[in-house]
Amino acid sequence: MNTIIKKYNLLVLVIFIVVLPVLLWSRVIISHRALYKEMISIMTILAFFQLLGQFYLNRSNKLVSYHKMGRVVKFHKIIGYLFIGILIFHPFLIVMPRYLEPGMSATDAFISLITTFKTGVVLGIISWVLMILLVLISLLRNRLGMKYRTWRTVHGVLSVVFIVLATWHAINLGRHTDVFMSAFMIVVAGGGIALYLRKLIRDLKEVGGENAKWNVAAPVFGDGRSRECAVASE
């Protein structure tokens, strides 16, 4: 059973963050739109789903614990840096067709884009800033002087805030987000957030509790035996 889970859990993840988004995108391919524009769209959609998938590629997902955590973290980092790189540039990619077509210049288009203070755009700008912040606290982890667990909590909570705002932004402004794509995004994001929050609550309960790993003195039971002795004698 463990072998089956180990073998297929990543395959299931790939189906959810690559295959299904591509299928949903292909439902809404906009007719008469240039191929390179559609390629930019699918690249952005896939990059966003890879970031949603990051919630399943960490220790809050029990299914990935069948793999070595060092390897999972390595993939988490590679996917994060690569696809956040694409999403950081996506506001510029959106105005790129203005270089190739007559009409408004790309610079004017970009200024119009970032100065339109409507819900979707504002959400996008906040998400973009949060994304930069996430990259910075990941790159500068050792220089921040935080304990690893504190850093992990900050990174996780910031990711949850980012993904909520980014999903809302994608649903509000995405040209390929119809009802099905929106529902799928909400399901994948909601599942990931639920997994993370469960792990976070467990971590917080652990802090200061009798199961805290950094408790020096082992808890002592009523009959004077330590926890380890009590477990060993059972």
Using CB under 8 A, list all residues that contact another protein: 30-33, 37, 94-95, 97-98, 101-104, 108-110, 112-113, 116, 118-121, 173-176
Q: Would you give the DSSP letter of residue 217?
A: S
Q: Which is nearer to another protein, 109 or 229 (CB)?
A: 109
45: tokens are 């959609």
Q: Which is nearer to another protein, 76 or 176 (CB)?
A: 176
- Smallest gap from residue 87 Cβ to another protein (A): 16
CB atoms within 10 A of CB 205: 11
Q: Which is nearer to another protein, 37 or 152 (CB)?
A: 37
- Smallest gap from residue 90 Cβ to another protein (A): 11
Distance CA 225, CA 176 (A): 63
- Smallest gap from residue 50 Cβ to another protein (A): 21
- Smallest gap from residue 173 Cβ to another protein (A): 6
Distance CA 99, CA 120 (A): 24
- Smallest gap from residue 26 Cβ to another protein (A): 15
Q: Which is nearer to another protein, 120 or 190 (CB)?
A: 120
Question: Rg (Cα) of the chain, in Å, rounded?
Answer: 22
**Runs of H (alpha helix) within the chain:** 2-14, 20-27, 35-53, 69-95, 97-100, 106-114, 119-139, 148-173, 179-206, 227-233
Distance CA 200, CA 149 (A): 11
Q: Which is nearer to another protein, 3 or 31 (CB)?
A: 31
Backbone angles phi, psi at 79, to 5 degrees: -60, -45
Distance CA 29, CA 194 (A): 31
Q: Which is nearer to another protein, 32 or 213 (CB)?
A: 32
The DSSP annotation for 89-122 comes to HHHHHHHTHHHHSSSS-HHHHHHHHHT--SHHHH
Closest CA to 47 of 104, 85, 93: 85
- Smallest gap from residue 108 Cβ to another protein (A): 7
